[in-house]
Amino acid sequence: MKKAIIYVFSGTGNTKKICDLYKAEFEAHDVETTLFELKRDMSELPSPDGFDLVGFAYPIHGFNAPHIMLDLAKALPKRAKGDEKKYFVLKSSGEPLKLNNISSYKMRAILKRRGYAQFAEYHYVMPYNMIFRHTDSMAAKMWRTAKELAPVEARETLDETPHILKGVPFGRFIAWLFRIEQPAMRVNGRMFKVNKDKCIGCGKCVKACPMGNISRGEDGKFRFGGDCVMCTRCSFSCPTDAFNIALLNGWRVNGKYDLDYVGEEQKSKHDRYCKKAYKRYFEAAEQKIDCAKQNNVVE
């Protein structure tokens, strides 16, 4: 039996949901699949050598991969010359802008130097956990699309079909420019605050942080380190909306979406935001799904 591994970093769970769809499709085709969820401590990082298929998955942060993905790329064992390991990339974001295509540039460069060759990359649109809150009807549409599209593209991945997203003019420069977000978020993360009047002391934020960046002393005070990647898992999942994420608090989204929403389409003040890009994304996805069904690629 073939074996696959996907190294996953997921903030509020969108990327993990996509990986779950890939895992289900892989295993439906007799490929044993491991989803390894990344945390700051990589001492128990599985080597890709024991797997036939290797993937990396992350949410796009500022048109880049989060810095933990760059740390992962540097931590993987270097391969001998002429013994390259192929890999694929899965990524998610709240909008289908072409600028998101540049997000893997830095990670790809690191992996190339270490003897890994990318053959495919797929981008899925999932509801924002920053900037603004999508309506539940839009979030549900994104999720329905992903549930149908991911199995199709998982089959392409199993066949090692080349699929590299097109770049944009000055893409490498733009990606480099926006990587200022990474050190900036380390600083911003130190300035988080918790509303004492709202906090119920459940400890979910401390347990949830993948970077181990949040602690709470015996005095009840929260302490924040310098390793924040701004995944917002802490604030998004807070049951009482007690978190203040410092300079980005105006963009904060709190609470789960109803991804199973089946009512009428909901309106919001953001309906015109990237309207044409969303339209192209959903139309292209529908076309690919329909084509796969006609060719009996998926049920």
Spatial separation of the C-alpha atoms in residues 260 and 144, rounded to whole Å: 9
Enumerate the domain spans of the chain. 2-176+277-294, 180-251
Asked if the model's pLDDT at residue 260 lies above 60, the reply is yes
Q: How confident is the model at residue 81 (pLDDT cuts 50, 70, 90)?
A: confident
What is the average pLDDT value for the chain, to the nearest integer?
Answer: 94
> Which CATH number is 2-176+277-294 given?
3.40.50.360
Q: Which residues contact 225 (CB under 8 A, 6 or more apart)?
A: 189, 190, 211, 212, 213, 214, 215
pLDDT digits (tens, 9 = 90+) for 10-65: 999 999 999 999 999 999 999 999 999 999 989 899 999 999 999 999 999 999 99
Spatial separation of the C-alpha atoms in residues 227 and 20, rounded to whole Å: 27
Spatial separation of the C-alpha atoms in residues 22 and 15, rounded to whole Å: 11
- What integer is the mean pLDDT of 95-103? 95
More confident residue, 126 or 298: 126
Q: What percent of the chain has pLDDT over 70?
A: 99
Token pair of 25, please? 């499709």
Torsion of CA 177, 178, 180, 185, to 10 degrees: 180
Token pair of 97, please? 């802008």
| Residue 90 CB neighbour total at 10 angstroms | 24
Predicted pLDDT of residue 189: 93
Asked if the model's pLDDT at residue 299 lies above 60, the reply is no
209 CB-side CA count, 13 A: 21
Spatial separation of the C-alpha atoms in residues 291 and 283, rounded to whole Å: 12
CA-nearest of 253, 252, 247, 251 to 188 is 247
Distances (CA, A) of 50 to 4, 16, 20, 71, 176: 9, 22, 20, 21, 33
Asked if the model's pLDDT at residue 233 lies above 90, the reply is yes
Q: Does domain 180-251 have CATH number 3.30.70.20?
A: yes
Token pair of 81, please? 């010359």
SS3 state of residue 137: helix
Spatial separation of the C-alpha atoms in residues 86 and 53, rounded to whole Å: 7
C-beta of residue 152 within 8 angstroms of C-beta of residue 289: yes
Instruction: Output the pTM of the full model.
Output: 0.94
Q: How confident is the model at residue 298 (pLDDT cuts 50, 70, 90)?
A: low
Give residue 156's Cα distance to chain centre. 20
**Pairing of β 214-216 and β 222-224:** antiparallel
- Assign residue 170 a region: left if phi > 0, alpha if psi is -120 to 50, beta otherwise? left
pLDDT digits (tens, 9 = 90+) for 244-256: 999 999 999 999 9
C-beta of residue 91 within 8 angstroms of C-beta of residue 124: yes
For the four alpha carbons of 17, 71, 100 and 237, in that order, the dihedral sign comes to positive
